[in-house]
């Protein structure tokens, strides 16, 4: 959303753009090394970066699980590997949404509040439970 200053500039005919990637601070302020992501406010580029890289991370997860299937009998069943990939995709989506939500609340990546950390802990717990359920199903499949 455009800031109030941007809305005023647009209304007076002085401005020619609205919105920004920073939330709660001006674009171009202090940033993290290498990425330039805001270190003083929210930055929407972080969620974008993480979400976009799912296109590389999830196929890589599938390749790693496929290679590991040669060494781990519990991963030989394609349904088990698919279940783990689904858990990975859901976790990745959750992390992307969490980072966008954190940014929209004006929080820098490295300075989350207690609510953000609580939601992150819940996401990690859900991922662990998801993996445990999939692996439990693999043990039941092996027994059968």
Indicate the domain borders of the chain.
42-143
Length of the chain: 144
List Cβ<8 Å contacts ≥24 apart for 127-132.
127/87, 127/90, 127/91, 127/94, 130/87, 130/90, 130/91, 131/84, 131/87
Which residues does the chain have with pLDDT short of 70? 1-3, 6, 15-19, 24-25, 140-144
Distance, in Å, from the CA atom of 131 to the CA atom of 123, rounded to the nearest integer, reads: 12
Name the residue among 115, 120, 113 with its Cα closest to residue 94. Answer: 120
Distance, in Å, from the CA atom of 104 to the CA atom of 106, rounded to the nearest integer, reads: 5
């Amino acid at each position: 959303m455009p800031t109030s200053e941007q809305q005023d500039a647009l209304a007076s005919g002085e401005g020619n753009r609205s919105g920004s990637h920073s939330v709660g601070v001006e674009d171009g302020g202090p940033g993290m090394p290498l990425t330039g992501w805001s270190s003083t406010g929210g930055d929407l580029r972080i969620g974008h970066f993480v979400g976009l890289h799912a296109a590389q991370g999830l196929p890589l997860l599938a390749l790693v699980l496929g290679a590991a299937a040669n060494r781990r009998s519990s991963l030989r069943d394609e349904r088990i590997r698919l279940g783990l990939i689904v858990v990975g995709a859901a976790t990745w989506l959750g992390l992307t949404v969490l980072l966008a939500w954190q940014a929209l609340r004006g929080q820098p990546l490295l300075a989350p509040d207690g609510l953000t950390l609580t939601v992150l802990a819940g996401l990690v717990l859900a991922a662990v439970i998801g993996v445990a359920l999939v692996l439990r199903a693999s043990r039941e499949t092996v027994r059968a």
